[in-house]
Structure 1
Amino acid sequence: MSRILLVIDRVGYYVAGAYLVVASIALFALVPMAGWLVFGRYVLNASPTWVEASSLILMLVVTFGIAAYAVRTGEHLSIDFVRESFPKPVERAMRFACHVVLTVFGAWMATASWANVVSNWSRDIPLIHIPEGVRHIPLLVGGAGIAVFSLIHALKMIVLKDGEDAAS
Structure 2
Amino acid sequence: MMDKASALLVRLGAFGLIAMTAVIGWQVFGRFVLDSSPSWSEQTALVLMIWYVFLAAAAGVWERFHIRIEILEHRLSPPAIRWIRITIHLLIAGFGLVLAFYGAQLAWLVRDHVIPSLGISRAFAYLPIPLAGLLMTVFSIGRVRLRWRNEA
Partner residue, 1:41: 31
Query: Which shifted more, 79-88 or 69-78?
Result: 79-88
Alignment counterpart, residue 59 of structure 1, candidates 37, 49, 67 = 49
Partner residue, 1:103: 93
Deviation string for 1:65-121 (max 9, x for gaps)? Answer: 111111111222211233232222222221111101100001110111111111211
Sequence identity percentage: 26
Q: Which amino acid aligns with 2:53?
A: T
Partner residue, 2:70: 80
Query: TM-score normalised to the size of structure 1?
Result: 0.84
Distance 2:137 2:107 in 1: 18
Partner residue, 1:142: 132
Alignment counterpart, residue 94 of structure 1, candidates 84, 89, 94 = 84
Partner residue, 2:151: 164
Please list every run of at least 4 consecutive aligned residues from structure 1 whose deviation after the TM superposition is greater than 6 angstroms: none
Work out whether residues 39 and 117 of structure 2, in 8 Å CA contact, stay in contact via their aligned partners in 1.
yes
Partner residue, 2:59: 69
Partner residue, 1:3: none
Distance 1:115 1:108 in 2: 11
Task: Could you tell me which runs of 5 or more consecutive residues in structure 2 were left unpaired when the two chains were aligned.
Answer: none
Aligned length: 152
Q: CA deviation at 1:157?
A: 2.1
Deviation string for 1:30-67 (max 9, x for gaps)? Answer: 12111111111122222212111111111112211111
Work out whether residues 9 and 56 of structure 2, in 8 Å CA contact, stay in contact via their aligned partners in 1.
yes
Distance 1:84 1:12 in 2: 28
Query: Which shifted more, 61-70 or 97-106?
Result: 61-70
Query: TM-score normalised to the size of structure 2?
Result: 0.92
- Over the residues paired in the alignment, what is the CA RMSD in angstroms? 1.4
Task: Could you tell me which runs of 5 or more consecutive residues in structure 1 were left unpaired when the two chains were aligned.
Answer: 1-10
Distance 1:151 1:119 in 2: 29
